[in-house]
Amino acid sequence: MGRKLLLDKAHIEGIRYYDTYRSNGGYAAAEKALKSMGPDAVVEEVKKSGLRGRGGAGFPTGLKWSFIAKPEGVPRYLVCNADESEPGTFKDRYLMEFIPHLLIEGLLISSFALGANSAYIYIRGEYAWIPDILEQAIAEAKNKGWLGKNILGTGFDLEIYVQRGAGAYICGEETALLESLEGKRGNPRIKPPFPAVKGLWGCPTVVNNVETIAAVVPIINIGGDEYIKFGIGKSTGTKLISACGNINKPGVYEIEMNISVEEFIYSDEYCGGIKGGKRLKACIPGGSSVPVLPANLLLKTAKGETRMMTYESLNDGGFATGSMLGSGGFIVMDEDQCIVRNTLTFARFYHHESCGQCSPCREGTGWMKKVLHNIEYGKGKMSDIDLLWDIQRKIEGNTICPLGDAAAWPVAAAIRHFRDEFEWHVKHPDEALTRNFGLAHYADPLPLPEPAAV
């Protein structure tokens, strides 16, 4: 049974409310940080823990915090990115809905470490019911003296505000989020300057994901040295994974980053195997924007080693044979799934969500969607596959924000690993909709137990 740090109290009834949370050890980390540690010591502890941003990019959190500019007389801000909009990713929703005080405690500790007196939770518009839960928890915390002026008599002040987004995926990009928070159209800013220097209202700002901020609580509780022991190498601690697709047990799981992908998919503790006993065809391990991996590359790395649920192992081989842990949106596809249709679905999403600021993303995402639509619906040509490859190549890396990359990578990976399936669609336009591809990308199913002797 894997150890848990974030969801260890999730099963306790009423943990959403302050009294239950507090009586089960809640706010002990905040008390420790504010009373017996200084801001610098908290930053050092987070650095020591090796915590990496859980929003997708995986940048070291402590290092990001240390970049924040500290000019005299200028306020600093902490912004919690709760605009969880990546298709396949729904882990932050679970945290905010069931253990909101964990996030508030994390915000309190993080703001203290950064010297921020205002923290914002920018939450996805579609999570319509969660802001009420958060606001209730904030009110409880304030009543108990954990927010407001002179917290615990330390002289530290903090207010937390909840801001609802209007439902645009691009507002999950940190600079677009800041624009939206300032009341403007959610267009990404051009970096540099980075938010740590010039962020919200032109002031130094740190933007962290919900899970990242929540993870600060156990780090302070158990210490950075202990936190490292939950994981391997540079993938330290635990990670929330939202698993979905053709698996027996979809849901949000907290894993120690020392288990294999195979264990995660087939173990009863997690996904419980492929639904209906079918064969595993492919998996997108980190949310829709990361490259899809065929089964043969999913369970083993390019070097033939066991693929682990870690940043490094999932990256192994680069985009040619690897993928990314990303935001932990684990989408599993069985043998009946059509890669072309899946790629079209994602292309349609990214086309719809492009802000339209820069030319490659604005025009390229729509073009890819139209070409994919033709291939999927039996109107494609062989040359369209090369055209798709070329379009994604001209988008990737050439846009203001990573949405261009997010749109390009799924298409690139689908062609790289499943080109024969695209060709099959072109050659058999009438049969394409039957989804009986007869193509070999599948992992052999795990051996079934021997039938009991009669």
Partner 1 sequence: MAEEKKLFKVKIDNISVEVEPGTTILNAARKIGGDVVPPAMCYYSKLQGSGGKCRTCLVKVSKGSEADPRPMPKLVASCRTTVMDGMEVANITSPEVQEARKGVVEFLLLNHPLDCPVCDQAGECDLQNLSYEHGAEATRYEFKRRTFDKIDIGDKIQLHMTRCILCYRCVYTADQLTEKREHGILGRGDASEISTYIHQSLDNEFIGNVIDVCPVGALTDKTFRFKNRVWFLKPVDAHRNCENPKCCGKTVLWMRGDEVFRVTARKDQYGEVEDFICNTCRFDKKEKSDWIIEGPRKIDRHSVISQGHYVNTVKPKDPLVEVLDGRQPKLLFDIHTQSQVNRPDIDLSKIEGPAHSDDFNK
Binding mask 363-382 for partner 1 (x = CB under 8 A): xxxxx--x------------
Contact region with partner 1 (CB under 8 A), list: 101-109, 142-150, 341-349, 357-365: 357-365
Of 144 and 352, which CB lies nearer to partner 1 in the complex structure?
Answer: 352
Choice from 291, 328, 360, 380 touching partner 1 (CB under 8 A): 360
Residues 176-205 that bind partner 1 (CB under 8 A): 185, 190
Of 30 and 170, which CB lies nearer to partner 1 in the complex structure?
Answer: 170
SS3 annotation, the chain: CCCCCCCCCCCCCCCCCHHHHHHCCCCHHHHHHHHHCCHHHHHHHHHHHCCECCCCCCCEHHHHHHCCCCCCCCCCEEEEEECCCCCCCCHHHHHHHHCHHHHHHHHHHHHHHHCCCEEEEEECCCCCCHHHHHHHHHHHHHHCCCCEEEECCCCEEEEEEEEECCCCHHHHCHHHHHHHHCCCCCCCCCCCCCCCCCCHHHCCEEEEEHHHHHHHHHHHHHCHHHHHCCEECCECCEEEEEEEECECCCEEEEEEECCEHHHHHHCCCCCCCEHHHCCEEEEEECECCCCCEEHHHHCECCCCCECECCHHHHHCCHHHHCCCCCCCEEEEEECCCCHHHHHHHHHHHHHHHCCCCCHHHHHHHHHHHHHHHHHHCCCCCHHHHHHHHHHHHHHCCCCCCCHHHHHHHHHHHHHHHHHHHHHHHHHCCCCHHHCCCCCCCCCCCCCCCCCCCC
Does 401 sit near partner 1 (CB under 8 A)? no
Does 399 sit near partner 1 (CB under 8 A)? yes
Of 325 and 403, which CB lies nearer to partner 1 in the complex structure?
Answer: 403
Residues 404-443 that bind partner 1 (CB under 8 A): none
Nearest-approach distance from CB 387 to partner 1, in angstroms:
6
Does 123 sit near partner 1 (CB under 8 A)? no
Of 287 and 364, which CB lies nearer to partner 1 in the complex structure?
Answer: 364
Does 124 sit near partner 1 (CB under 8 A)? no
Of 260 and 289, which CB lies nearer to partner 1 in the complex structure?
Answer: 289
Does 331 sit near partner 1 (CB under 8 A)? no
**Which of 348, 333, 327, 336 lies closest to 411, judged by CA?**
348
Nearest-approach distance from CB 202 to partner 1, in angstroms:
13
Does 394 sit near partner 1 (CB under 8 A)? yes
Contact region with partner 1 (CB under 8 A), list: 91-99, 145-153, 247-255, 353-361: 353-361
Choice from 164, 234, 362, 416 touching partner 1 (CB under 8 A): 362
Q: How many residues bind partner 1 (CB under 8 A)?
A: 29
Phi-psi region of 427 (alpha: psi -120 to 50; beta: other; left: phi over 0): alpha
Does 397 sit near partner 1 (CB under 8 A)? yes
Nearest-approach distance from CB 126 to partner 1, in angstroms:
16
- Torsion on CA atoms 15, 16, 18, 20, rounded to nearest 10: -20
How is the beta sheet containing 293-294 ordered, strand by strand? 251-256, 238-245, 329-334, 280-284, 293-294
Does 353 sit near partner 1 (CB under 8 A)? yes
Nearest-approach distance from CB 180 to partner 1, in angstroms:
13
- C-beta of residue 128 within 8 angstroms of C-beta of residue 135: no
Of 351 and 417, which CB lies nearer to partner 1 in the complex structure?
Answer: 351
Does 236 sit near partner 1 (CB under 8 A)? no
Binding mask 152-181 for partner 1 (x = CB under 8 A): ----------------x-x-----------
Does 59 sit near partner 1 (CB under 8 A)? no
Does 337 sit near partner 1 (CB under 8 A)? no
Does 351 sit near partner 1 (CB under 8 A)? yes
Of 9 and 394, which CB lies nearer to partner 1 in the complex structure?
Answer: 394
Does 359 sit near partner 1 (CB under 8 A)? yes
Does 357 sit near partner 1 (CB under 8 A)? yes
Of 328 and 404, which CB lies nearer to partner 1 in the complex structure?
Answer: 404
Does 4 sit near partner 1 (CB under 8 A)? no
Please list, in sequence order, all residues whose beta carbon lies within 8 angstroms of the beta carbon of residue 191, skipping any fewer than 6 positions away: 175
Residues interacting with partner 1, by CB under 8 A?
168, 170, 185, 190, 351-367, 370, 387, 393-394, 397-400
